[in-house]
Amino acid sequence: METQKIKTRTELIVFILIILGIVAAVNYLGTIWFSRLDLTEDKSYTVSPATKKIMRHLDDIINIKVYCSKELKQEPRLQATLTTIRDMLAEYKAYGGKNLHITWIDPSESDAARQEAHSMGIQEIQAQVVERDKVQVVSGFLGLAVLFADRKELMPLAQNLGNFEYDLTRAILKVSRPSMPRVGVLRVDTLPQIPPEIMARMGRQQQQPDKTETKFDKLIEKLRENYDVSIVDVSQGKPIDSTLQALVIPGSAKVTDRGAFEIDQYFMKGGKVIALANGMKIEFNPQFGPMTMNADSKILDLLQSYGVKVNQNMVLDASCNPVMVPQQIGPFSANVEVPYPYFVKIGRDGFDRSNPAVGPLSDVVLPWPSSLTLSVPLAAGAKDTAGAGVRAIILAHSSKKSWLATGMVDLNPQQQWKLPSGDTLKPSTLAAYLSGNFKSFFAGKPVPPVNPTEPTDSLSKINLQPNAADAGRTVVAANPDGHLVVVGDADFVSSQNAAPQNLLLVANLVDWLSQDESLIAIRSRTAKDRTIEADLLKKGSAMPNVVRGVNVALMPILVIIFGIIIFLRRREHMAAAPITSTSATPEASPEEKIR
């Protein structure tokens, strides 16, 4: 008997050890193979493949420190925030493995922890918490620091976490890179101005002074998240730094021949160029009001020689963005939303879905864009065409209900819009990518002087003192592996129009041309367009109301119908079930048993 007890206890201990071993093995394998069932459309609660790849290829230890005071954990909104952060960091840890260290620190536990939070630059915040049936305002720390060697990136966490994955992955890349890649933005001072009257009619703020650092400050700020941005000035005739990953030209600037030469030579030496160029400009005439004029710029001549012409027109589209205009309603004045076809809205169908830079985008709005005409053949879709002639890929185009305006264009948003008839309605190319063997615009020409002067006599025609810096310069005649992107608009990233999705387009293009596509897919997940009807000029469309009615009324009705069906089926089963007696059968008497 005693032997049987010992055997039973031994088997129980072995069974418990086996269970513990299985649990330990499952936990270990869970740190290697991580999976999550995410049923949201864009996988909002799952890190993207790009993040997984970055985490798996960490070659050194990255430290993430989360500072969270216990006083803030009682605030209901912050509780949901902290749960999301914990889940996301757990997934990062699953893919980062031993090269990712995550530490949670409560600054309220000790003065040393509090001092550490201060030294990291984490700011105290205030939140309302309910304690003992009273609403109290408490202060505490809530922030995240990404550390590597002597580098540090901070992230505030008391905000919308829609960009959390992008911000965290960007911070990890930023501290782990050996150096920040560099891009340039061309200094432009002569961009088309939006007339004050037009700005007032559209209920928009007057734009900033026409300087690159102010007019495009939001674009520059966006690029500085991942790049060391330099403002490139070609007015002095100095060569553009060839170490720049890409050069962004924000507008059809009036550059001199020497300035165009420096841009051309940067491109011929292997630099990547992103040109945002308008074919027409807007000027205000005190007598006639706003007027459109053809743009005149050497940059347009450069682009045309490379294979893409920015046409001197404006694209209008029924798929457009509305603007707010003041209207008189009885004795009152109010801002009313009206369609404005000059603000072309490119939807998902307008982008090349196979391209990593524009494919993830859902919408971009181009104000007063110009169409592009390609003089080179279209490529089959491959990005690299080095060694061959120049090939083009259409990155974005307008909708099928778009048309063109040339000459004197009426920009007034308070007018009756009518779709033109005939063959005038057709898509227009708005953005294109060209690659291949480019020829220099200045091939076979001398180097232009820095400060050209008009000779007044025969003696001044003799250049007695040539520029010493140009003595040894020669013209690079070709770029066998060039990469060029042209967008027929520049104002979509100026300060008054720089919506997040517009900035995403340029940021994605810079990443793509710089061969750094790791953040494109993550960045583009944060902006989604849910427009039901893109054609704002379409009258009497019932689709938005139908969808709204389905969401509000039909779904509850379906639930009620489903519940009634279940109730009726259960009642039918109960009615069809046989009735059985629950009374006990009387036991037979002894006499009956004998019989």
Tell me the mean pLDDT in the region 446-457. 69
Residue 67 in domain: yes
Asked whether residue 554 is domain-assigned, the answer is no
The distance from CA 544 to its chain's CA centroid, rounded to whole angstroms, is 26
Within this chain, do residues 170 and 191 fall inside the same structural domain, yes or no? no
Q: What is the pLDDT of residue 243?
A: 93
CA distances 143 to 72, 153, 162, 172, Å, are 12, 11, 16, 15
Closest CA relative to residue 420, chosen from 325, 318, 516: 318
- State the pLDDT confidence band at 315, using cuts at 50, 70 and 90: very high
Nearest to 430 by CA among 590, 519, 308, 328: 308
Are residue 161 and residue 259 in the same domain, yes or no? no
Specify the pLDDT at position 590: 54
Q: Which residues contact 154 (CB under 8 A, 6 or more apart)?
A: 120, 121, 122, 143, 144, 145, 146
CA–CA separation, 293 vs 313, rounded Å?
A: 9
Confirm whether 390 is domain-assigned: yes
Token pair belonging to 143:
């922030």
Domain of residue 484, CATH code: 3.40.50.880
For the chain, give the longest Cα–Cα distance: 154
pLDDT at 580: 53
Tell me which of 98-102, 290-294, 331-335 is least confident.
Answer: 331-335
Q: How many domains does the chain have?
A: 2
- Please give the average per-residue pLDDT across 75-87, as a whole number: 83
Tell me the C-alpha to C-alpha distance, in Å, between residue 23 and each of 14, 19, 521. 14, 6, 36
341 close to 537: Cβ distance less than 8 angstroms: yes
Is the sign of the CA dihedral 234, 238, 240, 243 positive or negative?
negative
DSSP string, 410-447: ---SSS---PPPGGG----EEEEEEEEEEE-TTTTSPP
Same domain? 309 vs 284: yes
Task: Give the pLDDT confidence of 222-253 residue by residue, as tens digits.
Answer: 999 889 999 999 988 899 999 999 999 998 77
Residue appearing with tokens 């990233």: 493
Q: What is the pLDDT of residues 347-363, one digit of tens each?
A: 989 999 989 899 888 89
581 pLDDT above the threshold of 60:
no
Pick from 130, 159, 128, 129: which is nearest to 142 by CA? Answer: 159
Closest residue by Cα to residue 520 from 163, 172, 166: 166
C-alpha dihedral, 127 to 130 to 136 to 137, nearest 10°: 0
The pair of structure tokens assigned to 180 is 């920040």
Decide the pairing of beta strands 228-232 and 246-250. unpaired
Residue 231 is given by DSSP the state: E
User: What is the distance between the alpha carbons of residues 580 and 143, in angstroms, rounded to a whole number?
Assistant: 68
CB 335 within 8 Å of CB 323: no
Torsion of CA 425, 430, 435, 436, to 10 degrees: 40
Cβ contacts of residue 396 below 8 Å, gap of 6+?
A: 346, 350, 351, 352, 358, 364, 429, 430, 431, 487
* Same structural domain, 167 and 189: no
Question: Which residues span the domain enclosing 108?
Answer: 49-176
Helix (H) or strand (E) segment spanning residue 169: helix 164-176
Cβ(505)–Cβ(486) below 8 Å = no
Tokens in use for 224? Answer: 């500085």
pLDDT digits (tens, 9 = 90+) for 280-306: 988 766 666 567 888 889 999 999 999
Tell me, yes or no, whether 164 and 236 share the same domain. Answer: no
- More confidently predicted of 532 and 238: 238
Residues 304 and 162 in one domain: no
According to DSSP, residue 521 is labeled H
Tell me what the pLDDT averaged over the chain comes to.
82
Q: Are 283 and 193 in contact (CB under 8 A)?
A: yes
**Other CB atoms closer than 10 Å to residue 99's CB: what's the count?**
14
Per-residue pLDDT band for 191 (boundaries 50, 70, 90) equals: very low
Mean pLDDT of 495-518: 88
| pLDDT for res 70 | 86
What's this model's pTM, rounded to 2 decimal places?
0.75
DSSP strand E in 452-499: where? Answer: 478-487
Does residue 557 sit within a domain? no
Among 512, 531, 550, the domain-final residue is 531
Please identify, among 176, 203, 232, the residue that sits at the C-terminal boundary of a domain.
Answer: 176
Are residue 135 and residue 194 in the same domain, yes or no? Answer: no
Between residues 163 and 447, which one has the greater pLDDT? 447
**Do 218 and 495 contact (CB within 8 A), yes or no?**
yes
The pLDDT value recorded for residue 503 is: 94
Q: Is residue 87 part of a domain?
A: yes
Which residues lie below 8 Å from residue 50, measured CB to CB, with a gap of 6+? 169, 517, 518, 519, 520, 521, 522
SS3 356: coil
By the 10 Å C-beta count (0-12 exposed, 13-18 middle, 19+ buried), 595 is classed as: exposed
Residue 25 lies in a domain: no
Same domain, residue pair 379 and 330: yes
Residue 162 is encoded by which pair of tokens? 């829609």
Residue 432: name the closest of 390, 484, 356, 377 by CA.
484
Residue 466 is predicted with a pLDDT of 52
CA distance 376 to 547: 44
pLDDT at 211: 54
Residue 467 lies in a domain: no
Domain shared by 168 and 189, yes or no: no
C-alpha span between 74 and 76 (Å, rounded): 6
Q: Is residue 387 part of a domain?
A: yes
Model confidence at 343, pLDDT cuts 50, 70, 90, reads very high
Give dist(CA 144, CA 407) in Å, integer: 55
490 and 507 part of one domain:
yes
Q: Are residues 162 and 230 in the same domain?
A: no
| Same-domain pairing of 85 and 223 | no
| CATH number of domain containing 136 | 3.40.30.10
Phi, psi of 3 (to 5 degrees): -65, -35
Residue ending a domain, choose from 176, 203, 227: 176
pLDDT digits (tens, 9 = 90+) for 147-158: 998 899 998 886
Residue 463 is predicted with a pLDDT of 45
Average pLDDT over residues 415-421: 85
